[in-house]
Amino acid sequence: MDNLPEQEKHQASPGLGEQVSEQEQSCPDPSQRKGQTRTILETLRSKHDQKILRLRAEYLKCLEEMKDNEALENTRWFQRATQASLLLGTKDLNYAPIGTLDGSILGSGSSSVEDAAVLYMTADEFAKYSKENATSMEKPIVIPGEPEAPPEEFMARFIDALEISCARNSITVQDLSLSVTDEDGDAADSFRLVPANTVIAQIKKPQKELSNKLNTLPINLLDLQDFNLVNPPAFLNEPRYQLLRYIDERVEADVRQQALPKRQRVKNPTLMPGKKHFQVRRPADVAGCQRFTIYAQRGAYSGAHADSLNGTWVKCLKGLKIWIIFPKLHDGEDQSGFESQGSDWIPQNPEDAQMIVLTPGDVLIMPAGEAVVHAPITAEDALMIGGMYWDTQTICAIVGNMGWILENPAVSNERNLLQLPAMLEKLNAFVHEYPEKFINENLDKKAFLKEWKQAHDSTTKILRQAKRAESKAKKPIKSKVPQKRRK
């Protein structure tokens, strides 16, 4: 296999649930005896354990070398390397229990669907499952697949897009060389703007091994636009998963109305079906969340967080990504610690952290309406696309979770969304205009509207309080020292 060209390696890579080879039939592990097919978990372990264990060993080596070095111990690198090494476990790697549907062509998982922390399905299985379980998709779902092109081809496209689109600008980078605290002892920002050409140069020279040299620390790019590297997953074409786009279009239509003469304006506008002939200035942070690109180098770690719109999908195009989840977080004492510490938090028992491993072609869906706390670690330089979405069948839970995030801003790595007030206003109008789109056989119209009012009113109230607190914080403090009059 190592002698194959890159393209042929890509085509020859075996899938999940692969057959055990003759060489492995002599292995004492009973799960690998002759004629037996590996489970998904066994396949993942055989392919990736050594890579992940090597990464953990390199984290520990770097931490040992940073001991008693006060300057390095106050960096984000020391903090993140400590957290990541703990989350990867002190002994065995702790994979999330995997469940598959009865009769799945993917083979068997390591757990029942009920006890699993993540479900593996084909795209067709997910389409059927989402219809049959409209309001009970509570667990992350992985749709494994083969990438549309070799990973190196995607990287070439990505670098080309950066050079053409961003070369004269700066890129927001999670910089691990920065200090954890500022001169006053307060928490310092971990992001900074870096010239695009500097970032591109570092991407082109990946590091083979982690080190403590500040100019070679892994970079993490979490604020990149969508570069149209590949089409989004097919499930997003379903009307129920397009709600976020519908509402954003209504907000945009409302803003466009303000640019028209009064006589041409209409009440409760929607977007015109024709092409857009002009742009309008408006906040677009929710619109920008619908599609994005992520790139991180080996060793990068993002810290635990929940996504503010709490419905996210990502697709791996290149590399190896470890998506740490915390299924027990909301059941125990760890939740209050996470709410106050945010990305600086790790569970009291690091063994509660569970790994989902993503490779090229894999799609991960974190269900809308579930505030899935996650902490990605990059085991090989990884390029991903992703986006956020809303689901009509779980909209009350989505809005309720948004209220929880507004009350506990440390749990998200995103600032309060400027578009959120307008989005909630338009969403409320849309719900009352089309309530039939949100109800199902388990929830009638009257019960839904009652549940919706409670979720909407509660989150709107929290949003107003957050806005008042933000305005108060920005208000300049008047000096008590009288100013001298100019002569």
**385 close to 314: Cβ distance less than 8 angstroms:** yes
Question: How far from the centroid of its chain's Cα atoms is residue 102's Cα?
Answer: 29
- In angstroms, the CA 307 to CA 292 distance is 13
308: closest CA among 283, 284, 289, 332? 289
- In angstroms, the CA 358 to CA 209 distance is 21
**435 close to 428: Cβ distance less than 8 angstroms:** no
User: How many helices and strands (H and E) does the chain possess?
Assistant: 13, 11
Q: What are phi and psi of 169, to 5 degrees?
A: -115, -170
pLDDT value for 414: 78
In sequence order, what are the residues at sequence separation of 6 or more whose Cβ sits closer than 8 angstroms to the Cβ of residue 227?
A: 157, 158, 161, 165, 293
Tokens for 410, please give them.
């440390």
Question: Could you tell me the sign of the dihedral formed by the alpha carbons of 222, 223, 227, 233, in that order?
Answer: positive
Question: How far from the centroid of its chain's Cα atoms is residue 70's Cα?
Answer: 33
The kind and range of the H/E element at 254 are helix 243-258
**381 close to 300: Cβ distance less than 8 angstroms:** no
Tokens for 206, please give them.
């990946």
In sequence order, what are the residues at sequence separation of 6 or more whose Cβ sits closer than 8 angstroms to the Cβ of residue 212?
A: 62, 65, 66, 72, 77
Specify the 3-state DSSP secondary structure of 189: coil
- The CB-side HSE value for 199 (13 A sphere, CA atoms) comes to 28
pLDDT value for 24: 43
Per-residue pLDDT of the chain (487 residues; tens, 9 = 90+): 344 333 333 333 345 665 544 444 334 343 444 445 789 999 999 999 999 999 999 999 999 999 989 889 999 999 999 999 999 988 889 999 999 999 999 999 999 999 999 999 999 999 999 988 877 788 999 999 999 999 999 999 999 999 998 878 999 999 999 998 877 777 778 899 999 999 999 999 888 899 999 889 999 999 899 999 999 999 999 999 999 999 998 888 877 776 666 666 666 666 555 556 555 555 556 777 899 999 999 999 999 999 989 899 999 999 999 999 999 887 677 899 999 999 999 999 888 999 999 999 999 999 999 999 999 999 999 999 999 999 999 999 999 999 999 999 999 987 767 788 999 999 999 999 999 999 987 888 999 999 999 999 999 999 999 888 777 766 554 434 444 444 3
- In angstroms, the CA 482 to CA 38 distance is 78
DSSP one-letter code for 32: G
Tokens for 395, please give them.
């909209």
The kind and range of the H/E element at 380 are strand 374-388
The kind and range of the H/E element at 447 are helix 445-474
Q: Nearest 5 degrees, angle CA 23-CA 26-CA 30?
A: 120
Other C-beta atoms lying within 10 Å of the C-beta of residue 447: 11
pLDDT value for 275: 57
In sequence order, what are the residues at sequence separation of 6 or more whose Cβ sits closer than 8 angstroms to the Cβ of residue 138?
A: 367, 370
Tokens for 146, please give them.
């083969």
Strands (E), 289-373: 292-296, 312-325, 354-358, 363-366
Q: Domains in the chain, please, with CATH?
A: 31-253+280-392 (2.60.120.650)
